[in-house]
């Protein structure tokens, strides 16, 4: 008997633990989806604000297409995440509806059993009948067992009453939760309809603009190629400055100047390790902004046959925005080229961050900078009001995707 009781207890504890783990996992998933949804909503708000600030300026078709593509992508993601939330809520609602049905059935049985016990107790509540029940025992052992039975029966009756109370409260709480979930789902569906309308408007404007572009595709293809050549020219100069800095560090350490990596001091090794430990947590190089060009090879948004190569990301921001160092380091170069806006290169141990497209530069080569220190101001194109810059990360001279390093890029 004791063995069976222990086994039941163990099964109950196991079931309770599994149930708690499942509830916690569901709660975490809900929070994760809601956090992502709010991030995307803030991203759209940021895009709309920056668009509104530059509304009076005449933007190039290429820039407009970049803007439409990015916003369409964010809106698409928002719809997907919201749908995931709504589907998740549907599953929870169905689960809670089943739970309510099961609880009601369970309560019905419990109440019927409890009512039967009350009737039985009422019939045998006479003190004399209890004493007679004990005195009619054949021996002391039987009398003791009958006494234990009466006590257990009374305890069971009390426990049954407590169970009914707890189940009633659980039913009420589940009902309340169900109503809240149904309300939340309604709200999500309404919000999603609004986002879908916005997405359709963006797609319509994108479609109309693409019709204009396709009527003179050769002109725009030429502009894309020219833009790529300019980017390649800047990247080649960045690469030259970094390689010169690597050779200088190796020469100072008495190592071959042909090495592709920096010769680091003990202090620089600590800085590099700290930089790596902050992977995915580095601050944005600007207070307000969003990525309009991603890292890597990708087809042009205008002509899919043209592949553009990006060693960094292009970030759109507001006019006069300050550009900030993403980590402690040392300025190893200020790039100045003909017809090109200046750029700043900062070394963080054996890692490099580069900030191109500055209108003003606040630092000079050799300066020590700290995380979020202002190093310059973004250049704003006077003809179209565009304020954007490129941000690159590399390990030595090998480029890396900034999205892997910057917080929620």
Residue 243, pLDDT score: 94
CATH number at residue 150: 1.10.287
Flag the least confident range among 25-34, 55-64, 160-169, 299-308.
Answer: 55-64
**Same domain, yes or no, for 193 and 300?**
no
**How do residues 19-30 score in pLDDT, each as one tens digit?**
555 556 667 888
For residue 363, name the pLDDT band (cuts at 50, 70, 90).
Answer: very high
Q: Which residue has the higher pLDDT, 406 or 189?
A: 406
DSSP labels for 315-329?
EEE-TTPEEE-SSSE
**Same domain, yes or no, for 25 and 139?**
yes
223 is a domain residue = no
Q: Running DSSP on this structure, what letter comes out for residue 293?
A: E
Mean pLDDT (whole number) for 30-55: 80
First to last CA, the chain: 61
For residue 13, name the pLDDT band (cuts at 50, 70, 90).
Answer: low
For residue 4, name the pLDDT band (cuts at 50, 70, 90).
Answer: very low
Q: Kindly state the helix (H) or strand (E) to which residue 344 belongs, with its residue range.
A: strand 340-348
| Alpha carbon distance 253, 251 (integer Å) | 5
Write down the pTM of the prediction: 0.66
Q: Which of 22-31, 81-90, 118-127, 400-409 has the highest mean pLDDT?
A: 400-409
Domain end residue (candidates: 189, 214, 239): 214
**Same domain, yes or no, for 331 and 392?**
yes
A 10 A CB-CB count for 255 gives 14
| Alpha carbon distance 150, 125 (integer Å) | 11
197 is a domain residue = yes
219 is a domain residue = no
**Listed residue (38, 43, 45) closest to 85, CA to CA:** 38
Do 220 and 61 contact (CB within 8 A), yes or no? yes
Where residue 254 falls (left for φ over 0; alpha for ψ -120 to 50; beta otherwise) is left
- In the numeric block, the tokens 């509540």 are attached to 125
Mean pLDDT (whole number) for 160-179: 78
339 is a domain residue = yes
221 is a domain residue = no
Residue 36, pLDDT score: 84
**Same domain, yes or no, for 200 and 275?**
no
For residue 151, name the pLDDT band (cuts at 50, 70, 90).
Answer: low
Checking if the pLDDT of 305 tops 60, the result is yes
Checking if the pLDDT of 119 tops 70, the result is no
**Same domain, yes or no, for 143 and 196?**
yes
For residue 43, name the pLDDT band (cuts at 50, 70, 90).
Answer: confident
Residue 106, pLDDT score: 79
102 is a domain residue = yes
- Determine the structural domain holding residue 201 and report its residue range: 2-214
CATH number at residue 371: 2.70.70.10
SS3 content of the chain, % helix, strand, coil (to 5): 60, 15, 20
**How do residues 55-105 score in pLDDT, each as one tens digit?**
655 566 777 787 788 888 889 989 998 988 888 888 888 887 888 888 788
What percentage of the chain exceeds 90 in pLDDT? 34
Checking if the pLDDT of 9 tops 60, the result is no
């Amino acid at each position: 008997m004791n063995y069976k009781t222990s086994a039941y207890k163990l099964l109950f504890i196991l079931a309770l633990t599994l149930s708690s783990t499942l509830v916690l996992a569901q709660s975490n998933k809900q929070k994760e989806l809601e956090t992502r949804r709010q991030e995307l909503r803030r991203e759209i708000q940021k895009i709309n604000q920056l668009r509104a600030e530059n509304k009076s300026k005449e933007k190039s078709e290429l820039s407009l297409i970049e803007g439409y593509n990015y916003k369409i992508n964010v809106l698409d993601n928002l719809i997907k995440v919201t749908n995931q939330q709504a589907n998740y809520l549907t599953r929870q609602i169905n689960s809670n509806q089943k739970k309510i049905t099961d609880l009601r059935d369970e309560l019905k049985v419990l109440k019927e059993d409890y009512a039967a016990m009350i009737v039985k107790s009422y019939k045998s509540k006479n003190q004399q009948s209890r004493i007679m029940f004990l005195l009619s025992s054949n021996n002391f052992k039987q009398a003791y067992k009958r006494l234990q039975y009466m006590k257990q029966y009374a305890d069971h009756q009390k426990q049954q009453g407590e169970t009914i109370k707890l189940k009633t409260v659980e039913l009420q709480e589940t009902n309340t939760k169900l109503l809240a979930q149904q309300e939340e789902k309604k709200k999500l569906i309404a919000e999603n309809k609004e986002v879908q309308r916005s997405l359709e408007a963006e797609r319509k404007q994108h479609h109309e603009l693409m019709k204009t572009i396709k009527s003179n595709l050769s002109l725009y293809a030429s502009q894309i190629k020219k833009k790529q050549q300019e980017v390649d020219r800047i990247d080649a100069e960045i690469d030259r400055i970094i390689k010169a800095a690597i050779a200088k560090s190796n020469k100072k350490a008495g190592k071959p100047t042909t090495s592709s990596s920096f010769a680091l001091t003990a202090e620089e090794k600590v800085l590099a390790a700290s930089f790596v430990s902050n992977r995915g947590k580095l601050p944005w190089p600007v207070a307000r902004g969003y990525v309009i060009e991603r890292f890597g090879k990708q087809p042009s948004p205008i002509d899919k046959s043209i592949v553009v190569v990006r060693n960094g990301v292009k970030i759109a921001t507001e006019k006069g925005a300050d550009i900030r160092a993403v980590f402690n380091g040392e300025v190893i170069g200020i790039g100045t080229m003909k017809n090109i806006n200046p750029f700043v290169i900062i070394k963080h141990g054996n890692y490099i961050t580069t900030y191109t497209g500055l209108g003003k530069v606040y630092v000079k080569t050799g300066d020590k900078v700290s995380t979020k220190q202002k190093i310059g101001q973004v250049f704003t194109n006077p003809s179209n009001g565009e304020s954007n810059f490129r941000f690159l990360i590399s390990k030595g001279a090998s480029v890396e995707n900034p999205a892997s390093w910057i917080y929620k890029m």
